[in-house]
Structure 1
Amino acid sequence: MTLTSATSETVTDRWRDATRPQDSAGWILRAEEVSDILAADAVERDRAGAPPHAEVALLKASGLVTLLGPTEHGGGGQDWATAYRVIRIVARGDGSIGQLLGYHYLWAWAARLVATDAQISAVEQLYTEQNLLFGGAVNPRDSDLVITEDGDELVFTGSKSFSTGGVVSDLTVLEGVLDGTETHVFAIVPTDQPGIVFGHDWDSLGQRLTESGSVEIRGVRVPWEAAAGFVDRVFQPLVYNTLNVPAIQLVFTNFYLGIAEGALERAASYTRENTRAWPYGGDDKARATDEWYILEGYGQLQSKLWADAALIDQVGDEISALLHAPREELTARARGDVAVRIAAAKARIIEDGLELATKVFELTGARASANAVGLDIHWRNLRTHSLHDPLPYKRREVGVYTLLNEVPEPTWYT
């Protein structure tokens, strides 16, 4: 049963009468169901490159969209440690959809990161009760959106070259600078409005279904009272505000791991079913699964992924504790300690994941390079998004921490 078949409605309807998961283990199982559905036709959907409306419907029907939402509004009430594992599992089946879900979780948490208590309550009730998906127009490498004041309203204008998930989102996070000042303002607005115009120009090597193309913001109006974190038009800063970057960097890290795990699973299945032993080495085997170099190769790759997962889970538990603690308690040092460990985890999985996504071709054989097999999708996906920000700077952050005991200064990328 696949999303590209005529049975896609049946797929997304499968949980209609199911009991909602009540704990982390239950949500992990639900994510595994979603991942299996996505994996079944991931290659075909990647080749087609259509906007992932059916995939988003699957995420919504499964309940994963409201995993972090308050239970009193029908959400899962789970913590970030669980959310990170769910992102990874979904990415095993389809790296693009793992990215969409991870970005959604971060933007859904944006209110908690910067907003007032009243704004947090309103946003979380809205998206949880209505099962809404977030996108964002917050690419820091572009010029900031310009915000002008018009009485009791703010008017956002400008463009962004990336807007992951925007085309299939219900809500969009905007960020800009108040004209004539250095004051940054975040706001959450409905996506379906004339002032948000998508370029439909996402045409990348990998992560093809993330709809990460450009967007123009043409005079989108937001009430001043909806400016996140502002009281009487003055922002109320907290160190907690700066957790957005390490939180999303670990989102990246987890869907990278999921992509790599998916590559290993697909390659191992192919080797068991299709790869032939090499008959010219002087140590002939009847089956490829008896070949020592194949066994050694899979053993090496699996060992690296297990080590990566151990670090990623550990730091995921650490930042989850900070994200769910009282916002006023976070210190700059605690934020920096976890940020640098996330940098280390990200560096490791990028290196190991790219090695794995290449090495599997040596372990599966020449026929596995056929487009129909689709092993290339994993390398393309990981190679594409791992260029998000330069890896050497992550290693440098870890080096400065190790040698000088200094934590990274908060920026849009650290």
Structure 2
Amino acid sequence: MKSLLSEINKSIGKNDDLYKWSQDFGNIQVVLVGLSSLIDFPKTIQLLEGQIQTVRHSSEVIVQQLHKIGKVKSEKKEIIEAIFEGELIIFIDELGLVISIDPVPKTLNRSIESPSSDNNIQGPLSAFNEDLSTNIGLLRKEFSSVELQVSSYTFGNSQKKGLSLLYCKDQVNNKLVENVTKQVESNLDKMLYTIQDVTKMLGLPKYSLISSFNTTESPQEVYSNLVKGRVVLFLDRLPYALILPSTLWDMFAIRNDENYSFVIMIALRLLRVIGAITALVLPGLYVALVAVNPEMLRIELALSVAKTREGVPYPAFVEVILMLVILELIIEASVRLPKSIGPTVTMVGGIVLGQAAVDARLVSNLLIIILAASTIASSTIVGFQNSFTIRIFKYNTLVLASIFGVLGVFTGLFLVCAYIASKTTLGIPYLSVKGEMKSG
């Protein structure tokens, strides 16, 4: 036993947070080993003494008590893994036993807060955090039913990472669960850090412009998708639920809409549809009508547009691309800057740059209005990933419009629709309403 303890000490003894403490339980002397950065040792030792305080001098009863609250470990590798997973290891030298128990952990997780990316104006304000068990608990509060099934897995060899699969057993398609479970169980040796790792593990397309997952930090939204027959993945240290598969309707509808009256709910979803179409079409339509097909405008409007572009040295396509790139930089800066100064810097920067570009006759006044409307419209879509997808698709329409005019705009929309229609996730079409598995 001493040799095993010394071997473990050699393997991980250089860590300053490795804690070793000799303790007497009755007439048995033990050595407690764990990481002080993960374990609250005073409270853990107090808890242990309280659990075996009725035992005075019986070694057998003490060992039985420890067996009830812990697990016996024998291999050096599994003991080291247990230490780094935050368990307390009890070495009983005179009996040649090693027992691991769940200690009182240090508080290292955020408390339950309001959603930061899924803003609920009228709805529940609890959001997932980085702790896997906390996220599952939040969901069970929302979905308190025996139908909710939870399967947990551990990924990686040298470093362990937890992943949980959840589904509603009476609603989910069994073939979908089988496909996901098969992919998960066949890749348990892989390490999962990010959503891209999960995508690769599940064998989903890597270069797809449309995300295979719908991400959310709202338990209410996860509940809504579970009863629709989808599966949900929780990755340890990721404060989001990954809903599989995603569908087109996820861009326009969320569960929180149903907290409003039916008419308001329909109006909100219609606004998002209009926003997506506007973001896709407006920049390309501007280029088509200004540079390729100006004859489609009424003469008064054509003259007004021509007047706004008077003195602008660039073609309409170059003008639009230049301002779109600047807008994308402003949006990215607003995400990366600290919250205390981000909105101020991006708002002032956008106004100053836009006004300076117009005054310098580099772009037209009308273009500033067009791109501002397009950017605002793309932000009405549910989910940052979905909004980014629309922002990418609009470049396809823009390039075709600069070559073929209005015909190019319709061609771009057709290509976008064709791409969306061809998208499937584990055999489920992206255009599916509730994520039903295709027949056959």
Scaled by the length of structure 1, the TM-score of the pair is 0.23
Kindly indicate whether structure 1 or structure 2 has the higher relative contact order, using CA contacts under 8 Å at least 6 residues apart: 1
Scaled by the length of structure 2, the TM-score of the pair is 0.22
More helix by share: 1
